[in-house]
Amino acid sequence: MTDAAMAHGPRPPLILASASPRRLGLLASVGIIPDAVEPTHIDEHEIPGELPGPLALRLAQEKAMAHPSVRAGGDAFVLAADTVVGVGRRILPKTLDEAEARRCLDLLSGRNHRVFTGIAAAGPGGAFAARVVETRVKFKRLSQPEIDAYIASGEWHGKAGGYGIQGRAGCFVVNLIGSFTGVVGLPLYETSNLLAGLGYPVTERMGERPTK
């Protein structure tokens, strides 16, 4: 167990192995506050021929398994996730420059695409569970001024597929089938079930009053 986890006594500690403020915020929205945020770092490049869904699942699993507590067989709960946007068999990048973001938005304009979020959790005694959640999203046909305005907002930076549905890009969405929170970065229904299945007291945490 890490020092951060030990400080919380008998309550099972939860470590979020992700630096994403969106995932932290989603957990907090249902009363689940991780005892520590300790992101892990792995090679996120896809294997040649790898499809979007299997990639999201593999990366989530590798991120969870890379945490020191898991490697050492500790008794903390470790949660990791990864989100991948796919158009057919094509994997869209987590955009880091404007040109890349524009290419993604041009491709997504007026089309259906799929968002895959892999979640993986490790628990005491070597327990481990993982799954991938698929959501289908359709964008309206984007005008050049709309793309320009979104690029100017900067919201695309570091986002899978070049957009964040919880922000300005929400007005591009014509239809969504699946998990909205999964597109944001952490499907809450599946995540809470995964943690509960490993023995984490999800319901008890939901009932806790926030500390002031």
**CATH number (domain holding residue 164):** 3.90.950.10
Q: Return the pLDDT at 3.
A: 41
**Number of separate domains in the chain:** 1
Give the pLDDT confidence of 87-125 residue by residue, as tens digits.
Answer: 999 999 999 999 999 999 999 999 999 999 999 999 988
For residue 99, give both structure tokens.
Answer: 């040109």
Alpha helices, DSSP H only, in 109-212? Answer: 144-153, 180-184, 188-197, 202-206
From the CB of residue 25, how many other CB atoms can be counted at a distance below 10 Å?
13
Mean pLDDT of the region 4-8 = 41
Which one of 43, 82, 97, 106 is the catalytic residue?
82
This prediction's pTM: 0.90
Domain-located, residue 211: no
Q: Is residue 191 part of a domain?
A: yes
Domain that holds residue 27: 3-206
Domain assignment present for 26: yes
pLDDT above 60 for 7: no
DSSP 89-131: TEEEPB--SHHHHHHHHHHHTT-EEEEEEEEEEE-GGG-EEEE
Residue 212 placed within a domain: no
36-55: pLDDT as tens digits: 999 999 999 999 999 999 99
Is residue 75 flagged as an active site residue? no
More confident residue, 209 or 100: 100
Report yes or no on 146 lying in a domain.
yes
